[in-house]
């Protein structure tokens, strides 16, 4: 039986909804090992029937990684915790290895959770990791003083992140220092593995970790954590205001076409209005990252100055008397591809094929849009046709069968819009604007936060 202070595990996990079970990501290091034992203790006391699965990802990057994974398996057997080892197979990139390993890790964890019907993944990121993240982003920005800094990145890691629009990744240890977690393990006489990569200063994070071990490192950590908390609150509030503006000023008159009421330009909160515009531009263009802040602010200023037609992030911005319209530009659309079971098309549309007859292609609607009859209304028909021309259509033997949602094509294929900048990773900071855009374009609804009261904090 684990002899852990009940108040500690309660404070860490009591606000989390474990109804669908939990996957604990356990590498064998001190942070994730402490996470597992604290979580096990909490569930044994409060919900012993909860499904708990520990998953270790063997990245295959070091000779000792397989032995470390087996050590985790042995620990889990000691405490009667189900455990799986998943390997990152295939070629490894020569550059950007940490990012690629992180992406593979989350993908494998999500696949394990989905296979078990679990909608929640817990990771062992600590306050130390949070401080390192914020300081690294600060350094990349040129090392300016914190008081001069602003931006989404300085909020650091969110308490929860929706992965692939399906399952939540929760970080319950962001308020805990690594030294405290190691004390927990020592009291339980549980060891851990030290990954030598964490000391390899060829990588950015180990360099920052080494710098924080010297001189005024403790003060820098405290300052970074205070900044992250402040910026996290500011980012959430900005998202709430942007979501309200999207709800008030944005409509979708046709598939692939968003109309912004010009009132957005004078709504009173220019920062939130620019943020809403950036999210809508990335969504319209199918881009995973928001457009550059400075270029977006310049575009916003030009929109206030008068009518224009411009492009940013693969989106056409067409401002005229009828409103401000956003649509996907005609350049760089995907070439025709064979329709398969499930495809993310152009970063904008999730396409599911329901027809197994074969010979079907997905390609832009293109010039076939000119044949569509458009009803009279406030939106110029030419704009609706231009937007629909960039939408995915079903083709067979050189003939366009039509757009999904029209006629018999609906039975053959389903198309669901995607909130592109948040489709892969949706931090809880950005939950409000993501929901507003999903409602606007008809994307799948966002899963509720796995927290009591659905608080992002």
The pLDDT of residue 401: 84
Beta strands in 146-208 (DSSP E): 160-163, 167-170
What are the E-state strand segments in 313-407?
Answer: 315-320, 323-328, 337-338, 342-345, 349-353, 360-364, 392-396, 399-402
User: What residue ranges in 109-247 does DSSP mark as E strands?
Assistant: 120-122, 160-163, 167-170
Can you tell me which residue has the tokens 């964490």?
198
Residue 362 has pLDDT above 70, yes or no: yes
- Supply the pLDDT for residue 143: 47
340 pLDDT higher than 90 = no
Cα torsion angle, 202, 211, 173, 240, sign: negative
Polymer length of the chain:
457
Q: Of the candidates 84, 9, 28, which has an alpha carbon nearest to the alpha carbon of residue 52?
A: 84
192 vs 398: which has the higher pLDDT: 192
> Which of 222-226, 327-331, 393-397 has the highest mean predicted lDDT (pLDDT)?
327-331
Q: Is 454 a residue whose pLDDT tops 90?
A: no
pLDDT 10s digits, 304-322: 999 999 999 999 999 999 9
Q: Is the pLDDT of residue 368 over 90?
A: no
Residue 150 has pLDDT above 50, yes or no: no
- Residue 166, pLDDT score: 93
Per-residue confidence band for 389, with pLDDT thresholds at 50, 70 and 90 = very high
pLDDT at 184: 95
> 99 pLDDT exceeds 70?
yes
What's residue 145's pLDDT?
41
Tell me the mean pLDDT in the region 328-340: 91
Q: Domains in the chain, please, with CATH?
A: 6-232 (3.40.50.620)
Q: What is the pTM of this model?
A: 0.91
* Residue 195: its H or E element: none
The arithmetic mean of pLDDT across residues 121-142, rounded, is 88
Region 61-88: what's the mean pLDDT? 94
Give the pLDDT of residue 457.
44
pLDDT at 149 over 50: no
pLDDT tens track for 174-216:
999 999 999 999 999 999 998 767 666 667 777 887 778 787 8
- Neighbour-count burial for 66-89, b at 16+ CB within 10 Å, e otherwise: eebbebbbebbeebebebbebebe
Strands 399-402 and 167-170: unpaired
Question: Is pLDDT above 60 for 27?
Answer: yes
Q: How far is CA 244 from CA 132, 434, 437, in A?
A: 33, 11, 11
What pLDDT score does 95 carry?
A: 87
CA 282 to chain centre: 14
pLDDT tens figures, 156-169: 999 999 999 999 99
Strand, helix or coil for residue 326: strand
Do 419 and 427 touch, CB atoms closer than 8 A? no
| Dihedral sign (CA 437, 431, 285, 337) | negative
pLDDT tens, residue by residue, 41-67: 999 999 999 999 999 999 988 888 899
d(CA 36, CA 73): 12
Strand, helix or coil for residue 137: helix
Does residue 407 register a pLDDT over 70?
A: no
Residues 369-384: tens digit of each pLDDT:
887 767 667 899 999 9
pLDDT at 81 over 70: yes
Indicate if the pLDDT at residue 455 is higher than 50.
Answer: no
Task: Give the pair of three-digit tokens for residue 238.
Answer: 């900005």
- Which residues are CB-contacts of 207 (< 8 A; sequence separation ≥ 6)? 201
Write out pLDDT tens, residues 262-296.
999 999 899 999 999 999 999 999 999 999 999 99
Cα–Cα distance for residue pair 83/364, rounded to 1 Å: 45
Per-residue pLDDT, 98: 82
Instruction: Name the nearest CA neighbour of 403 among 256, 252, 251.
Output: 256
Q: What's the start-to-end Cα distance of the chain, in Å?
A: 31
Average pLDDT over every residue of 413-418: 90
DSSP letter for 351, please.
Answer: E
pLDDT value at residue 375: 65
The pLDDT assigned to 253 comes to 94
């Amino acid at each position: 039986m684990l002899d852990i202070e009940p108040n500690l595990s309660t404070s860490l996990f009591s606000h989390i909804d474990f109804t669908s079970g939990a996957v604990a990501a356990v590498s064998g290091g001190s942070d994730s090992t402490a996470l597992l034992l604290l979580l096990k203790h909490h569930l044994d006391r409060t919900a012993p029937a909860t499904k708990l699965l520990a998953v270790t990802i063997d990245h295959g990057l070091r000779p000792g990684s397989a032995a470390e994974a087996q050590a985790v398996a042995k620990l889990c057997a000691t405490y009667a915790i189900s455990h799986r080892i998943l390997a990152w197979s295939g070629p490894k990139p020569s550059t950007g290895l940490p990012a690629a390993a992180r992406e593979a890790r989350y993908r494998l964890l999500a696949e394990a959770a989905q296979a078990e019907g679990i909608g929640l993944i817990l990771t062992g990121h600590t306050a130390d990791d949070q401080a390192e993240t914020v300081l690294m982003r600060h350094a990349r920005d040129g090392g300016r003083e914190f008081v001069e800094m602003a931006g989404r990145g300085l909020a650091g890691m969110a308490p929860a992140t929706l992965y692939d629009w399906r399952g939540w990744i929760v970080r319950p240890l962001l308020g805990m220092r690594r030294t405290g977690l190691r004390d927990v393990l020592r009291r339980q006489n549980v060891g851990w593995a030290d990954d030598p990569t964490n000391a390899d200063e060829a990588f950015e994070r180990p360099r920052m970790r080494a710098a924080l071990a010297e001189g005024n490192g403790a003060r820098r950590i405290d300052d970074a954590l205070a900044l992250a908390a402040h910026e996290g609150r500011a980012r959430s509030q900005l998202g709430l205001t942007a979501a309200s503006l999207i709800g008030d000023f944005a409509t979708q008159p046709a598939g692939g076409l968003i109309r912004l009421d010009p009132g957005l330009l004078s709504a009173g909160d220019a920062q939130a209005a620019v943020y809403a515009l950036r999210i809508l531009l990335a969504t319209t263009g199918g881009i995973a990252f928001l457009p550059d802040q400075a270029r977006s602010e310049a575009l916003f200023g030009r929109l206030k100055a008068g009518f224009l037609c411009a492009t940013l992030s693969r989106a056409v911005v067409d401002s005229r008397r009828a409103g401000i319209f956003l649509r996907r530009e005609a350049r760089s659309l995907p070439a025709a591809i064979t329709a398969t079971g499930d495809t993310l098309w152009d970063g904008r549309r999730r396409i599911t094929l329901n027809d197994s007859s074969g010979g079907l292609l997905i390609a832009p609607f293109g010039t076939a849009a000119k044949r569509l009859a458009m009803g009279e209304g406030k939106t110029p028909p030419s704009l609706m046709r231009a937007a629909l021309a960039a939408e995915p259509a079903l083709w067979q033997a050189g003939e366009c069968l039509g757009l999904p949602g029209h006629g018999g094509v609906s039975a053959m294929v389903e198309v669901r819009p995607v909130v592109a900048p948040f489709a892969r990773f949706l931090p809880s900071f950005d939950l409000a604007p993501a929901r507003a855009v999903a409602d606007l374009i008809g994307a799948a609804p966002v899963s509720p936060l796995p927290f009591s009261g659905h608080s992002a904090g």
